[in-house]
Amino acid sequence: MAQPATGPAKGPRTAPPLPAATAVHPVDEKLPPSRLVPAALQHIAAMYAGVVTPPLIIGQAVGLDAAGMTRLIAASLLIAGLATLLQTLGAGRFAGNRLPFVNAASSAGIAPMLAIAETSAPGRQLPAIYGAVLVAGVFCLAVGPFFGRLLRFFPPLVTGVVITLIGVTLMPVPVGWAQGGDATAADFGAMKYLALAAFTLVVILVIQRFGRGFVKQVALLAGMFVGTLAAIPFGLADFSALGSAPVAALPTPFAFGPPEFQPAAILSLCIVMLVLMTESSAGMLALGEICDRRTDGPTITRGLRTDGIATLLGPVFGGFPTSAFAQNVGVVSLTRVRSRYVVAAAGGALLVLGAFPVLGAVVSLVPMPVLGGAGIVLFGSIAVSGIRTLSEAGLDDSSNIILVAVALGAGIIPLAAPAFYAGFPSWAQTVLGSGISAGALVAVLLNLFFHHLGTHSRNAVALKSP
């Protein structure tokens, strides 16, 4: 509100200051290139490894060649760029939360998609995965407007269990990479592979310990770069695929075959989609606090609708389930640069990277042991995020302890005993064979049993939505 002038009664009056409503909010501030570009690079550095992780893991699991891996990575970058642009710039009142919010393929879907691949016929793994992802996208679009009412069924107890299981169940993946990546090879587990993985891990730890500012933020990428350089003299880096990768090309629709719709696979990814929607909602609420811009119901609905659109569009070009990137929320909090146009610039850069497959080929050339060393840090940090969430979930209550214990146990069974569900029907193997899906189902059911059925106000801390 304008204040009255404080000058003398006679003489000219000073002009009142502009009303606060005319000031540009930090979220809507358009920074000059000298500030925008470095800030956007920080977001790209923070998210790049996470964006390319799902295509790297799934591509390796289904046996794609170098060309297929390049296509998969390019599609992941392209969808991430489109989703981030839609989220930050918005599309009227239909989609986009207009916050500095990054959307890309989530690691939460990796384990269920690996389970789908294992139960599908050779050559049909990706079509089965993409069919389930398509339905999960439709599910997100349908449930998104009403999701606020469902949040109470996904308190920190449930989401903490799921996030922890994501990190734990994925840990065998980087361990296999550290041993060479190909379990059928004669030299699988050779000391040269283990040494390279250990060297990469040590480099990441050293950078994290002694690095400052931007260097510390890109410790994972820097470690992978140094590890790849170290692999060259020992013949452990193969750059032959780089010459055959097209410089510029747009992803071809359904390049890996038309989608197939398997009920068990669809159920598995719809469960994961609920978890991703919870994470996105929590991320929007947290980012609203950081940016000092209230995140209301319509904002969350538009944000979740963007998740659904990206998840629905992703399989057409080779993408995977899309959600928020929590690490970029951390970048906003750390740098205090709250402009959504900074993140939009980062999304535009990802879009360009996706349109030039040769850039994706560079990432696919990182040796498996190097990815193994970096993957231990990446997936371990996901588990730590889950543990942090559980620490806020009221574990001083015995019912909550039992809930978490049983749900984690159910989720670890497929990891500890892969053949445990071998005698079950195929649909049950797909759902229960994924530790994330099994743990999430048990956590939701036990949360209903302990905190909803026949109770009204018991354990309020456990019912608090994230």
> Where does 144-262 have alpha helices with state H?
147-150, 156-170, 172-178, 191-210, 213-217, 219-231, 240-244
Rounded (10°) angle between helices 398-416 and 156-170: 20
**Closest-CA residue to 431 (of 281, 256, 271, 288):** 271
pLDDT at position 115, please?
83
Among 119-133, 165-179, 356-370, 429-443, whose mean pLDDT is lowest?
A: 356-370
Asked if residue 459 lies in contact with residue 451, where contact means CB atoms within 8 angstroms, the answer is yes
Asked if residue 81 lies in contact with residue 350, where contact means CB atoms within 8 angstroms, the answer is yes
With a cut of 80, say whether residue 274 has pLDDT above it.
yes
144-165 mean pLDDT: 79
What is the pLDDT of the chain when averaged over all its residues? 81
Asked if residue 154 lies in contact with residue 466, where contact means CB atoms within 8 angstroms, the answer is yes
With a cut of 90, say whether residue 333 has pLDDT above it.
no
The distance from CA 269 to its chain's CA centroid, rounded to whole angstroms, is: 14
Which is more confident, 88 or 163? 88
Tokens for 47?
A: 């998210």
**pTM summary value:** 0.69
pLDDT at position 9, please?
45
Q: How many residues does the chain have?
A: 466
Instruction: Provide the percentage of residues in the chain whose pLDDT is more than 70.
Output: 85
pLDDT at position 6, please?
43
Rounded (10°) angle between helices 125-143 and 263-291: 50
With a cut of 60, say whether residue 4 has pLDDT above it.
no
Q: Residues 89-110: pLDDT tens digits?
A: 988 888 888 988 888 888 778 8
Bridge partners (DSSP) listed for residue 105:
322
Q: How confident is the model at residue 378 (pLDDT cuts 50, 70, 90)?
A: confident
| Rounded distance between C-alpha atoms, residue 175 and residue 411, angstroms | 19
- For every residue of 29-52, DSSP letters joined together read ----HHHHHHHHHHHHHHHHHHHH
Bridge partners (DSSP) listed for residue 91:
95
pLDDT at position 455, please?
61
With a cut of 50, say whether residue 1 has pLDDT above it.
no
pLDDT at position 451, please?
85
User: Looking at this protein, which amino acid is placed at residue 160?
Assistant: G
Which is more confident, 405 or 1? 405
Tokens for 33?
A: 């290139």
With a cut of 50, say whether residue 459 has pLDDT above it.
no
Q: Residues 380-416: pLDDT tens digits?
A: 877 887 888 888 777 888 888 999 999 999 989 988 8
Q: Residues 310-330: pLDDT tens digits?
A: 999 989 988 899 888 766 776
| Rounded distance between C-alpha atoms, residue 382 and residue 393, angstroms | 17
pLDDT at position 83, please?
92
Q: Which residues contact 159 (CB under 8 A, 6 or more apart)?
A: 275, 278, 279, 282, 386, 389, 466
| Rounded distance between C-alpha atoms, residue 145 and residue 157, angstroms | 23
Which is more confident, 237 or 458? 237
| Rounded distance between C-alpha atoms, residue 429 and residue 437, angstroms | 11
pLDDT at position 457, please?
47
pLDDT at position 11, please?
46
Q: How confident is the model at residue 337 (pLDDT cuts 50, 70, 90)?
A: confident
| Rounded distance between C-alpha atoms, residue 107 and residue 306, angstroms | 18
Rounded (10°) angle between helices 33-61 and 219-231: 60
**Closest-CA residue to 135 (of 257, 278, 317, 263):** 263
| Rounded distance between C-alpha atoms, residue 287 and residue 325, angstroms | 11
Which is more confident, 396 or 230? 230
| Rounded distance between C-alpha atoms, residue 148 and residue 461, angstroms | 18
pLDDT at position 12, please?
44
Angle at 306 between CA 256 and CA 162, to 5 degrees: 80
Count CA atoms within 13 Å of residue 268 on its CB side.
35
